[in-house]
Structure 1
Amino acid sequence: MSKVARIPGYQSKNPKQNRGIIGDREIRFKCSLQNVILDVLRGRPGWTEVPGDGDWDFYWCDREWLHQNYDTMFLHEHQKILHFRNHYELTRKNLMVKNLKRLRKQTEREQGKTEAQSFDFYPTTYELPSEYHIFVEEFKKNLGIIWIMKPAAKSQGKGIFLFRRLKDITDWKKGEYQPLSDQTRDVPETYVVQRYIENPLLIGGRKFDVRVYVLVCSYNPLKVWLYRGGFARFSNTRFSLDSIEDTYVHLTNVAVQKNAPDYDPEKGCKWSTQQLRKYLAAKHGVDKVQKMFKAIDNIIIKSLQSVQKIIINDKHCFEMYGYDVLLDDDLKPWLIEINASPSLTASGKEDYDLKFGLISDLLNVLDLENRLTGKEKRIGGWDLLWDDGPIVADDNMDCTPANGAAVSTPNSYLGCFNDRKKQLREIYLTAQSVKKS
């Protein structure tokens, strides 16, 4: 058998060598989306799409389907499905902050204030309507600053607005949050109000945030992978605090920016994280940029630990999160939100290639074909960041400090060189040799 034929994503001329198999059976998949993920699944050698209610081994489902069916499903040992049952504990904006605040208080009680400061990566946040009066007290202590209002359970910039005065939200508040007079009235929609970060790092005068991809294969024990690729999303209009009503200035969501009059759909207002890392290192120095990326690692781990005991862990489930991180002008990263269904629709060829590799390598990590040893620290573009504890890098070859000093660092290479195809060939050949011996 050809050695290369055993590598998922590489096609052999012999059809028998291209089978994705569980035991002696081909892998059957279902997918509820019509974008890059479906292209990856249909193009994966030996994987077969099953129609309707047919039996499946792998299901990339939407959240609504999971919520409706999870409690009545019986899953066989080998089956894998996207999303944990209560993923919203991390991906709803209000619950994310609530869980982070709880773990921060626990950390302060058990380890002291210094360690609790490691949670200082999300803006001051209140939930409305339940914490409205507490918010008003805080607002009056900091007159003149800008706040941002967001629906707790919506995405793509829907329902978001900025304000400086309580007067600006009085009419809105009356419309949204009338006191409940009886049990038949609908519960008002939950919002979060956050202190707006007024000093974002700008490139070319434009605001941006960074989309980071994180894969969780298990919460108990916690096992986390970080993808090397990602992108910075830029606003289409130069940043200014003079016009807080202009969404093209303040919101970097592609769903918002693509409606701008001069939006370029091919460029998509994006930089790769590799491009961003090189730019920042050249402008601010390697050491400061290393510190910034280490702080992003901290955000990822602390946020996942905040829900580790709450998420309903199931060995059949996995989750790919899209973290949105904003950098301020001191290169401090701030967690803006975490998405349970980050967009897999491509805005251009470069974006398509990124997402195709991202999903292909995710399937390689899950390893339904049982071709790996289970001890790998890197699989394609995914680096193992945490496995019931921090994972230390084998070397710093791709992102060494300028002085070349040998230091113990996390196995984290966000924005570093991603030679995924070459690396896949090497690990599959190695795994094949180990399994033969």
Structure 2
Amino acid sequence: MPRRRPTIKFRTSFANTIYDVMTARGWKETDSDTDWDFHWAEREWVYEVFDTMHLEPHQRLNHFRNGRELCRKDLLVKNLKRMKRGLQRDGQVDQAKAYDFMPLSFVLPREYAMFVEEFKRSGGVWIMKPIGSAQGRGIFLFSRLSEISEWRTDPYRHLNKDDKDPPRAEPEAYIVQRYIENPYLVGGKKFDMRLYVLVTSFSPLVAYMYRGGFARFSHTRYSSDPADIANNFVHLTNVAIQKTAENYDARSGGKKDLRSVKLLLAAEHGMAAVDRVFLAIERVVVRSLIAVQHVMIADKHCFELYGYDVLIDDELKPWLIEVNASPSLSANTKEDYQLKCDMLHDCLDIVDVEGRLRGDERSVGGFDLVYDGGVVEPDPQDCPWSTRLGTKVERENDGGD
């Protein structure tokens, strides 16, 4: 007779899908600061409290101590550039070229002079993003240096009007990137993809990728006309921005599931070409994790669920837009709720505070092991493609085999 597992005590400040999933598993909520088995914490709690605590061997936490190295825009760029330089220095030219998956980037105001030199040389459209904000706050496009001059003297000029932050003595740190002006379009609209990646260890690096996900679409047809450069409904796919558009489609939430997008691409380009694209996306994820592996503070108590935002251009090249340490777990449609609940159940199965796994699983629910001290490829007897990303997640209750 199997040993009865004790009730799992969890702590969280969230009241969305992760709370629903933990309670659905029979876990019991606690408000104790220390007496818990599992804590789904906010990032701020980790930065402010984690270093003051001693965790017991069985306790698990959903963030690594210095997750900013991957998820803060300026630090991600720094780590990717350092990785590329190291490969070039070691003569690994092809590997270094493989790190050209993030748009040309500069951190302002520190690298302002370098950016201006590049801008004067090549011009074009650029995009500015605050290094630490989310949901599209403070993002704007520009094609003239005069707009940067205005930002330097009025750093809150492009923030939402309802922002309550006090003015700064100096401009907020931003990252400026060359804008991808040739995005792949579906129905004439721009989109990017939100993908889920679970890292259970950075030493050694162990990472899983979720087969599902979704594409976030702009509300307005894409335009490269300079007159539309300030229209966020054309250029930014963030749900927080798009849902404020007139005639916003609340039923779909401006989203389409990843498998549907993959089938649309396959109908246009063939499955072999699309398989190469999705494998390239998977490799972008793996390389970004390798780039930060040696600077992350390894801790056996920690795991992290990342939200990767990836865009593909009209030449089917994937571009990494950003990595989110706290991807939104709120749902704006029934389908969105089901996707996130299923994904979180599978995530918690892998973290395995209940002690159910053998420890040698290559797939758990919709998550597939993609890196375990080295790249993990699908078994050709089980999967005819190079990656399972974007394929259907078969579940017992949906009629799958």
Instruction: Return the letter of the residue paired with 2:52.
Output: T
CA distance in 2, matches of 1:333, 1:422: 34
Q: CA deviation at 1:294?
A: 1.2
Deviations 1:69-96 (A, max 9, x none): 1111100001000100100011011110
Q: Which amino acid aligns with 2:200?
A: C
Partner of 1:414: 389
> Which residue number corresponds to residue 227 of structure 1?
210
Cα contact 2:349–2:364 (8 A) shared by 1 = yes
Match of 2:344 among 359, 382, 395: 359
State the alpha-carbon separation in 1 of the partners of residues 187 and 41 from structure 2.
39
Distance 1:349 1:241 in 2: 34
Q: Would you say 1:236 and 2:219 are equivalent positions?
A: yes
1:368-379 mapped onto 2 (5 Å cutoff): 368-379=353-364
1:40 and 1:131, CA in 2 relative to 1: closer, same or farther beyond 3 A? same
1:171 aligns with 2:171: no
Q: Which of 302, 306, 309 is equivalent to 2:287?
A: 302
Structure 2 CA distance for aligned equivalents of residues 97 and 76 of structure 1:
35
Q: Specify every segment of 5 or more residues in structure 2 that has no aligned partner in the other structure, as ranges.
A: 157-167
Equivalent runs, 1:13-52 vs 2, <5 Å: 21=5, 25-45=6-26, 47-52=27-32
Q: Are 1:81 and 2:81 matched, yes or no?
A: no
Distance (Å, rounded) in 1 between the aligned partners of 2:149 and 2:169: 20
1:414 partner amino acid: L
- 2:130 aligns with 151
2:309 and 2:322 in contact (8 A); partners too: yes
Moved more, 133-142 or 168-177: 168-177
Equivalent residues in 2 for 1:384-403 (5 A)?
384-395=369-380, 397-398=382-383, 400=384
Whichever residue aligns with residue 89 of structure 1, its letter is: E
Q: Is the 8 A contact 2:10 2:37 kept in 1?
A: yes
Query: Which residue of structure 2 lines up, in the alignment, with residue 337 of structure 1?
Result: 322
Residues 164 and 396 (structure 1), Cα distance of their counterparts in 2 relative to 1, 3 Å cut: farther
Q: Distance in 2 between matches of 1:116 and 1:392?
A: 22
1:318 deviation in Å?
0.5
Cα pair distance change 1:115/1:53, threshold 3 Å? closer
Q: For the aligned residues, what is the CA RMSD?
A: 1.9
2:48 to 68, 75, 79: 68
1-side partners of 2:197 and 2:265: how far apart?
22
**Unaligned ranges ≥5, structure 1:** 7-16, 178-184, 402-408, 427-437
Task: Give TM-score scaled by structure 1 length.
Answer: 0.85
Could you tell me how far 1:312 is from its partner in structure 2?
Answer: 0.6
CA contact (8 A) 1:30 1:59 kept: yes
**Corresponding position of 1:278:** 263
Matches within 5 A, 1:76-225: 76-143=56-123, 145-176=124-155, 188-225=171-208
Letter in 1 for 2:72: R
Query: 1: distance between equivalents of 2:288 and 2:34?
Result: 37
TM-score (norm 2): 0.93
Question: Match for 1:381: what amino acid?
Answer: G
Q: Percent identity?
A: 50
Alignment size in residue pairs: 387
